[in-house]
A = this chain, B = another copy of it.
Amino acid sequence: MNARAARGAQSRVEILEAAAAAIARDGYFGMTMRDLARATGKGLATFYSHFESKEDVLFELQRDAFDTLIRSASEAVTQAPDAATQLYLFISSHVHYVLEHRDVMRVLVHEAGALPPQRRKKIRKLKEAYFAVARDVLQALAREGCGAPAASALGEVADAELELATYNLFGMLNWIYSWHHAPTHGSAADVARSVHRLTLCGLVARCPDRRALLRAETLSTSLHRPPPLRPPQGGDL
């Protein structure tokens, strides 16, 4: 029963990848099962021995993706010695995922609302877990005051501002798929640095905290081996 399951799993992954590309191009309602058939070279009725329905494909696609994102981010964050480096590693992990699975990322951002309420809630739970990882990092960062000995009055960050900052961080991260073009915009590290700088010290700040940037970004290159990003081992949510 081993070789059997392996082939089945591989077929499943192929279908999900083709579905991600098709949904990314036409949207969930715009993609037809016939498109998926043409893209995979399989017959139309084949998918229904792997998935219960078209909606099932979308759901498992999103669930797998968030599983991978959460696991990759959690591993990255635990490797860092300070909050600024944690932030960089979180961003780097996310950017790597986006550039390697652009279609999936587009689906995550666009098609969350296409699921029926029950399954939407399951995905939302995953999304909140991922959000929490980032918020905790930003919270630690605000408390540490960017590694400076003591936070000045200007450096204090209210809880509400922190939540807004987290949303804004995800805004930057969730938009990358739509504009990044490797030849003109550079590697994942270049993008990650830009997001990290804006989040940490903005575009033009000239201050002692700016040194923490270089420290975090250079330090992380030695810590952050390219994440494996393999699909999650199965298991119901």
Contacts and interface: CB of A to CB of B under 8 A. Distances in A.
A167 interface: yes
Contact of A171 (B162, B176, B200): B176
A150 to B, nearest CB: 10
Nearest to A196: B202
How many copies of this chain does one complex carry? 2
B30 A204 contact: no
Interface residues of A, number: 57
A186 to B, nearest CB: 7
Contacts of A155: 204-206
Given A28-B30, A164-B190, 14 more contacts: A110-B110, A138-B203, A145-B206, A154-B210, A161-B197, A167-B185, A171-B172, A171-B173, A171-B176, A201-B202, A202-B205, A202-B209, A206-B207, A207-B207
Interface of A: 25-30, 110-111, 113-114, 138, 141-142, 145-146, 148, 151-152, 154-155, 157, 160-165, 167-168, 170-176, 179, 185-186, 190-191, 194-195, 197-210
